[in-house]
Amino acid sequence: MSGEKGARASVNGDASNACYFCNEQFELGQLQIHLKQCGSILEQCPLRCGAWIQRRHRDTHVRECPRVRRRGDLGEGLQGTHAPAPDPASPPPPPVPPAHTWTPNAVPINDCVSYLEKEVAAIRLSMSEDTHQKSTRVGEMDVFRNRLSLVDERLEHVVESLNELRAAVDEQARRASDYAAQLKRDTDSVQLALQELQGQQMSTALRLETTVNALASERSERELLETALEHQDSRLRTVDKLASVVEYVRAAVEEERAKSAHSRAVLEAEVDEARRSSRQLAQLAALRQDLQAQAIAEQPALDRLAVVEVSSATVRAEVADMGARVEALARDLRALSKSYLKLRTELVDFQSKVSFDGAELGGDNGERDYTRTTHPPEVLRCIYVCYVDIPTGHLIWRIDNFAARMKEARENDVVLSSPIFRTSKYGYTLKLTKQFTCRLCAAAVSLLLGRIGRWSGREIACPALSLARSAQAERDNESYFFAELHLNGIGKWRGRHLTCTVRLLGGRYDALLHWPCDLSVNIILKDQPGDRNQAMDIIKNLQLRRKSSSKRHDYDSGDTSETTRSNEALDKTIIQLKRQYIFIPHTSLDKFEYVKNDVIFLEFIVNQ
């Protein structure tokens, strides 16, 4: 029961509610009841075998205790000592009836004495163990008393420290209250100073804002002045560039004129010489026939005929030499044509510069003042429009070098050109280009090429006409709609679609036509398969409408929201209607054979 007392002492001294033996958690009132019944408490064996066992294993230990076994063995030994030896001759005794009452067995005195001695020795051993345990517990109690005395001393020291700490805390609280009051006074003074500082800051901010506004106005004025100066400088540079370009074009035209005049004179001389040679050959042939007729009668005439044949051979050699010279002149003319094409390209560039810079160099409202231009007279004489051999109602346009043209369109937004065509012989004039054709330039070259029987009467595209397109319209009292064909697209379709449109041009027979005119044009991108029956053409329809042929650009609706300015045309003053384009995706060009051998075909059919 000493273990139970120790458990109670531990529970009384400890605030925990756990059992000391089985570690189960209980409330403080239930823990005392549990300690009386806990099976984990150690108890001494009731048979005094010296073993300490748990309470729940006590009955099992009693049944298996060495003391119980020893007593059983001792009883069996005593019974064997006092039993008589059986007589083998005598008959077996009758069976002893079972006794229903307990009779004690006789035990030898020596065994009892030895047993008692062993019990006494065990008792002495247990008493010595108890004495040792008591002495050990007394020592532990002394240690506990010493520890308690130390704890009491430490508690006294802690109480003194707590008293000192309480006094220090009271002093700190008093100082903190003083500091809080001082801090409140300082805070009030700081708030007053902050209010004064905010007032000064607001006044400073107002002054800074006024200064910034003044600086901004000065900066804007300076930027305006710089912009005006830059604009003036750009105008001056543009004028200088235009002057240099005009001088270059004038020199090139003069050089080409001199070359053309010289070539013309040489050609005329060669042609006259060829004509004389041909007449001499005809005369020699007639003379030969006459001489052959008179050969039989007149032998001296044969000698004369031989002389004539020799002279005719000489003439033939001269004619062959003249043919070689004509071939050389043809090569020179081809070189001259190449130089002319180069000059035409330079004129196109010059047209672009003049068109884009015309709003700055011209009159008011973006109109150009063509009376103050310094173009050469040769170029000014080329600026007029003529229409000859124009297709009526149906046009098939072949576009070669499609890949190169597409690349150029992507890099420089180049617009392709097409021939002019009419709805009928004297009908409405349509065009799919922003360039005109000039017969004057063709006539100038025809003078050189017509006499050798090649390229006679052919029209040649004249970029110089675009330099004064608006001036010609004013002079002829005609209005023009300029078509645009953009391989790379325009606006939000740029880079994704092929854009095409058809525009009306002012013609010579507009006064005899019906106005307003409504035209429907089918634009067909031709497929080029091997079997024409399997062609998959792309057909688009375009509606054209124009109220009259007057100079004024009038449209169906006066709402300006329905119009948009063409940012692709060189002339930025032309206003075009919306929904006047057809769009063909670039991805469609790769599906079939629309592009074959780097060539595409566009067909235009006017629906009457």
For the stretch 389-407, pLDDT in tens is 455 678 888 889 999 999 9
For residue range 561-588, list pLDDT tens digits in order. 333 343 333 333 333 444 478 889 998 8
Strand partners, 563: 577
For residue range 2-11, list pLDDT tens digits in order. 444 444 444 4
pLDDT at 387: 36
The closest alpha carbon to 478, from 408, 542, 528, 553, belongs to 553
**Average pLDDT value for the chain:** 70
pLDDT at 526: 92
pLDDT at 158: 92
- For residue 552, what pLDDT band results from cuts at 50, 70 and 90? very low
Query: Which of 287-296, 357-366, 593-602 is predicted most confidently?
Result: 593-602
d(C-alpha 603, C-alpha 400), whole Å = 15
pLDDT at 431: 56
User: Half-sphere exposure of 110 toward its Cβ, with a 13 Å CA cutoff?
Assistant: 3
Prior bond of 516 cis (ω within 30°): yes
Query: Which of 81-95, 439-453, 506-520 is predicted most confidently?
Result: 506-520
The closest alpha carbon to 602, from 538, 551, 550, 549, belongs to 538
pLDDT over 80 (residue 491):
yes
pLDDT at 162: 92
What is the identity of the amino acid at 37?
A: Q
Across 21-30, 310-319, 424-433, least confident range: 424-433
Is the entire prediction scored with pTM above 0.85?
A: no
Q: What is the mean pLDDT of residues 131-142?
A: 86
What is the identity of the amino acid at 357?
A: D
Two tokens at 190? 């700081």
pLDDT over 80 (residue 208):
yes
d(C-alpha 111, C-alpha 77), whole Å = 10
pLDDT at 420: 72
Q: In this predicted model, which residue has the larger pLDDT, 603 or 9?
A: 603
565 and 487 in contact (C-beta within 8 Å)? no
pLDDT over 50 (residue 590):
yes
pLDDT at 527: 92
Strands 52-54 and 575-577: unpaired
Q: 565: which residues sit within 8 A by CB, 6+ positions away?
A: 572, 574, 575, 576
Task: Give the Cβ contact number of residue 30 at 10 Å.
Answer: 11
pLDDT over 80 (residue 432):
no
Strand partners, 543: 520
C-alpha 139, offset from chain centre: 90
pLDDT over 50 (residue 459):
no
Q: 415: which residues sit within 8 A by CB, 6+ positions away?
A: 409, 433, 434, 484, 485, 486, 568, 569
pLDDT at 448: 35
pLDDT at 595: 92
- For residue 428, what pLDDT band results from cuts at 50, 70 and 90? low
What is the identity of the amino acid at 125?
A: L
pLDDT over 50 (residue 474):
no
User: Half-sphere exposure of 547 toward its Cβ, with a 13 Å CA cutoff?
Assistant: 10
Q: In this predicted model, which residue has the larger pLDDT, 53 or 88?
A: 53
pLDDT over 50 (residue 321):
yes
d(C-alpha 11, C-alpha 343), whole Å = 120
pLDDT at 433: 43
Q: Which helix (H) or strand (E) holds 546?
A: strand 538-546
Q: 309: which residues sit within 8 A by CB, 6+ positions away?
A: 288
pLDDT at 390: 53
Angle at alpha carbon of residue 80, lines to 76 and 85, rounded to 5°: 160
Two tokens at 276? 């004389």
